Each structure stands twice: as structure tokens, then as C-alpha cells.
Amino acid sequence: MLKIATWNVNSIKVRLPAVLEWLGSAAPDVVLLQETKSLDEAFPRLEIEDCGYNLLVHGQKTYNGVAILSKRPLEDVFIGLPGGEDDEQARYVEATTGGVRVASIYLPNGNPVTTEKFPYKIAWMDRLAARADVLLGHEEPVVLGGDYNVIPADLDCYDPKAWRDDALCRNESRSRFRTLLHSGYVEAFRTLHPNRRSYTFWDYQAGRWQRGEGLRIDHLLLSPEAADRLDACEIDSGPRGGVKASDHTPIWCTLRE
DNA sequence: ATGGTAGGAAGCCTA
């Protein structure tokens, strides 16, 4: 079995103790990280390598930043999402490991929707769909995991009415998320748990974690060849309740070998 | 309740 997880850690520097603890207890084979907020030369490589992981990092100063951790070798590295030649934001990295093509995705938030941030998000989603189509053409197992900053349906939100016009809920965002599904990708969690209300993110503000008021915005999208092998998919809310917690918690799936 | 909290940067921006 191959266990693949994704986790928006909101600063790898601050979150390193929590990440190391979770690597030890959950023992994932592959981990996709987002919002590492670290220059590559400042990334705490040695501590993670000491846990038995190979490492691929793509970061920048202050914002964004993605990484892939794997117990297997990382091959055919691909950095950055095509189609944005002047795009400086570190939000996409891709590699092959354990026979699976994996991508760590930090999709733009897009708020406020009245600013240039929203069209940037939508254009980024169109670029992602184009790349996802290319990967489908290879007819290999692909897992596109990360913080999609999209609430796919009202079931995935504690208060859909309050969030209706937010960039995470807007139809422009949801329809493009569905485009990925229509093209052939399978969303692992909702496929295995059609009616379950679970979240991957709880805002630091207003006591959302304590109130159980969250959003499901971190997703694992599987190509048909990966979906054939899908065994399980669960959200591990444990890390969200820990000390110095990220506002996101890990979600993982297992693929049969 | 148009605030609230967290992180990184540097004296605000992003989420």
C-alpha cells in the first residue's frame, strides 16, 4: 500500500515539530506540503531526511511555497505550473515517486473577489486544468493533492450562506474544480464518503476549531489509473488540535500496490 | 458582532 498525504502547514519553520511528530505516527510514504513560507536554502531538510524522506522543495520568501516528501526516490522533477511565464508565486511542484506522478498544489485563495486576486485564481485554475489534461494523456497513476482553496459543495462548509460570495465558493471556482472531475479525475474523499461532513481547515479566528466550524478545501484528485487502486481516504484532524497547530489538518489516501 | 488570530516581514500583507 502507498499512503499519500497532503497538508498545508502554514510555515514549515514554525510547524517542524508537529510535522516530524506526524511523520512518525502516521508514517505516510508521500507527503505534499503547502504554505511552507521558506526559501529553499532555509528549508529544514536534514530533520526531515533523518525521518527517512527524500525531499523536493519549491519555495520563496514570505509567501506560498510547496514541497514533496517521499520515502521513495523522487524522479522527473517539474517545477512551476506552465502558462504563467511572469508568475513568481511558488504554488506548484510535480515529480514521480513510487510509480505515481504526484503534484503539490497551493491554489490561490482569490479573495477579495473585487481585486485582481480573483481573476488570477481563475486563470491559475485554467492553467491547472491544462496541465492535468497533459498528465491524463500519459495514462499513468497521478495524484494531484493540495490546498485547492475551493469548497466543492455546501456540505463542505459550516455556513454556506455566509460563504456564498467568497472566492472559495463562487461558481467560477466551483465550476473549474468540477472541470477537473469531468476531465477524468476522481476526488478521493467525497468518492469514498458521499455524505460525510468533514473539514480540513478551521480558521484561527472566532474559535472556529473549538466550534467545529470548518471548510473542506484540501483535496486529493486521482487519475483513473490511480483511482483503480484507491483503498482508503481519511482526514486526520489530530494535528489541528495540537499545540502550535496549522489552521489546516492532513488528509491522506492509500493506493493498493 | 465587518471583528476575530496566526505567520512573516519590518513598521502591513496574506490568509
The sign one gets for the Cα dihedral A243, A232, A64, A200 is: negative
Q: What is the pTM of this model?
A: 0.97
- State residue A85's pLDDT score: 83
A214: number of Cβ within 10 Å:
24
d(CA A51, CA A82): 32
Residue A33: is it exposed, middle or buried by C-beta count within 10 angstroms (0-12/13-18/19+)?
Answer: buried
Q: Does residue A109 lie within 7 Å of nucleic acid chain B, judged by its CB?
A: yes
Point out the nucleotide closest to A207 (alpha carbon to C1′).
B4
Residues in chain A where the model's pLDDT stays below 50 = none
Q: Is residue A184 classed as helix, strand or coil in its secondary structure?
A: coil
d(CA A94, CA A66): 10
Q: What is the DSSP letter of A149?
A: -
Point out the nucleotide closest to A110 (alpha carbon to C1′).
B15
- State residue A234's pLDDT score: 98
The distance of Cα A202 from the centroid of its chain, to the nearest Å, equals 15
Of A65, A231, A59, nearest to A141 by C-alpha is A231
Å from the A123 CA to the B7 C1': 27
Point out the nucleotide closest to A11 (alpha carbon to C1′).
B7
Q: Does residue A61 lie within 7 Å of nucleic acid chain B, judged by its CB?
A: yes
Peptide bond into A194 cis (omega under 30): no
Instruction: Render pLDDT for A203-212 as a digit per residue (tens, 0 to 9).
Output: 999 999 999 9
Residues 190-229 of A with CB under 7 A from strand B: 204-206
Q: Could you identify the residue whose CA is nearest to the C1' atom of nucleotide B9?
A: A62
Nucleotides in chain B near protein beta carbons (<7 Å): 3-9, 14-15
Instruction: Render pLDDT for A141-154 as a digit per residue (tens, 0 to 9).
Output: 999 999 999 999 99
- State residue A84's pLDDT score: 86
The sign one gets for the Cα dihedral A51, A37, A239, A75 is: negative
